[in-house]
Chains A and B, each alone.
Chain A
Amino acid sequence: MSTGAIVMMLIAVTIVWGGLIAAIIQLRRHPEQPETDTFE
């Protein structure tokens, strides 16, 4: 593996796996509100 390939892999892993963790934390902090379904 060339240095460029390793750097690209690390960048991709950081963005995608970090993004997954951030997205899960974000969703857990804002749980779905119970459905009230009051139409106005």
Chain B
Amino acid sequence: MITYASYLRRRADLTGSAMVAGFANSSFEILAGIGVFATLGFMAVSAGVAVDETATDGIGLAFVAFPEIISNMPVGADLFGVLFFGSLVIAGLSSLISIVQVVVAAVQDRTGIGRIPAVLAVGGATTVVSIALYPTDGGLYVLDAADRFINQYGIALAALVVVVVTAWALRLLPKLQKHADTTSAIGLGRWWRITLGVITPVVLGWMMWDSLSAELSANYEGYPTGFLLAAGWGVALGAIAVGVLLALIPWRREASDSPPIDPDVRVERRR
């Protein structure tokens, strides 16, 4: 999202775009939640078991539970199956673009190479790793552990650190608020500083504590400790370590040829 946001024009309506992006994401998740739990509930009732026994996670849901329910549809099962997996492919591809673009943009900025060489290098490297790891017998477990740990301790932890450093160490929120207000139709108020400075760190911190204590009390999914250290913690901590190392490399490409917007100089506020 940060990489996508960096492609906005200089005077883009940040607050309005952020509102639409956030609400659209949550709206589709509620819609998906209704669909998923209606399906799981139907399966649980027809199999005579509790809802939590039908499917456990994303993989089981997408590749076991949903194919089963689609193949049991009285009419249009074939069409619906094509639509479902077609949507899944599009969702996967669009997520892939947004994830790989972060790395491609970083490589371009840090090395100064062009877009096509950067895409080939990053795409090639990730292809090699994917082909080496994922088609093997243990591929699904590597994916499961790496996915879980990179989400919990790579992304959520990074978000927690970013929000604490921005809000409390550097105390940048009033300045950022001023920047956003300069170009946005919706004005940010004290509520924004409170949500970002207090509620978000508390919620993320609690999530971190909750999943860490679960991690330390029992091995995730009962995987062996050595495997979790390599495929789970290794991936998450490795991502943080590589991130810190990359941050030490100076930028080769000019970040922007335009001066930053200074809200104190010209306030051309839109209503």
Contacts and interface: CB of A to CB of B under 8 A. Distances in A.
Contacts of B26: 16, 19-20
Contacts of B5: none
A35 B9 contact: yes
B13 interface: yes
Interface stretch (B71-79, B106-114, B258-266): B258-266
Interface of B: 9-13, 16-17, 19-20, 23-24, 26-27, 30, 185-186, 258-259, 265-266, 270-271
Interface string A9-39: 0001100110110011011011011010101
A34 B243 CA distance: 36
Contacts of B271: 30
Nearest to B16: A27
B224 to A, nearest CB: 38
A19 B19 CA distance: 8
27 contacts: A13-B30, A16-B26, A16-B27, A17-B27, A17-B30, A19-B19, A19-B23, A20-B23, A20-B24, A23-B16, A23-B19, A23-B20, A23-B23, A26-B185, A26-B186, A27-B16, A27-B19, A27-B185, A29-B185, A30-B13, A30-B185, A32-B9, A32-B11, A32-B12, A35-B10, A39-B258, A39-B259
